[in-house]
Amino acid sequence: MLSQILDKLIAFAARDEAALVKAREEWSELAGKVFDDDFLYEERTTAFLEWFALERPGDDGRLPAERFLAEDRITDLDGKWAHALSRSHRSLFEVRELKDGAILVDDLLAGNAFEVVERRKLPGIAEGQLLEARLVANVVTPPDMLFTRAFQFHPQEAAPAMRKLAQRARADGETRAETLFRLLRLRLKALRYGHVAAAKIYAEAES
């Protein structure tokens, strides 16, 4: 159900083609530009579409998800899912423990811990992994939390530098969005400069 409503929200937001093109340009400025043949292209595209539908205000100041709730004919349950998605929580997480049907994560930018219900076998997710992800409340079985589809992975060798960067960002009062986009630019830089250790690239940004 979550995936279906998210698809509806994205399709609703993408009706405005001019806004979609403009948002794509903004995303490239914030996160760094990727190309069709880049290793990160698929995960970045998924993340962009979620950001466009759930975080980027339109010219009227409302999020596409908010306009969707006001304009489209939806059932009560669909409306609850759409509302939960409009209040979703994107952050940098560290996987603390993989459990049967759940993942325990620490939010490095907010200082919280979450147990996320997850029955999918997610490739690339292991204990100690640092990644950007989006959490949404499960409106069917509260207070459970769920992941959306967007996962953006960072090099494991850069984990120590990332923890320091996250700690400094919290101390400086930097918004989560600012920190996350800065990290995404670093991930892209590490991809572009493959001859330089990713740990060094992230550490230089932290210092």
> Average pLDDT, stretch 100-113?
95
124 pLDDT tier (thresholds 50, 70, 90): confident
State the DSSP H helix or E strand holding residue 1, giving kind and residue range, or none if neither.
none
Distance between CA atoms of residues 6 and 50, nearest Å: 8
Q: Report CA-CA distances (Å) from 43 to 39, 83, 132.
A: 9, 24, 11
- What is the structure's pLDDT at 72? 65
71 pLDDT tier (thresholds 50, 70, 90): confident
- What is the structure's pLDDT at 10? 96
Within the chain, how many helices (H) and strands (E) appear? Answer: 8, 5
Distance between CA atoms of residues 174 and 80, nearest Å: 30
Q: Which residue has the tokens 């995936």?
A: 3
Distance between CA atoms of residues 155 and 109, nearest Å: 18
One-letter amino acid identity for 116?
V
- What is the structure's pLDDT at 164? 94
- Collect contacts of 182-187 with beta carbons under 8 A, ≥24 apart: 183/92, 183/132, 183/154, 184/30, 184/31, 184/32, 184/44, 184/132, 184/152, 185/31, 185/32, 186/154, 186/158, 187/32, 187/40, 187/152, 187/154, 187/155
Distance between CA atoms of residues 198 and 202, nearest Å: 6
- What is the structure's pLDDT at 207? 57
pTM: 0.93
Distance between CA atoms of residues 112 and 59, nearest Å: 33
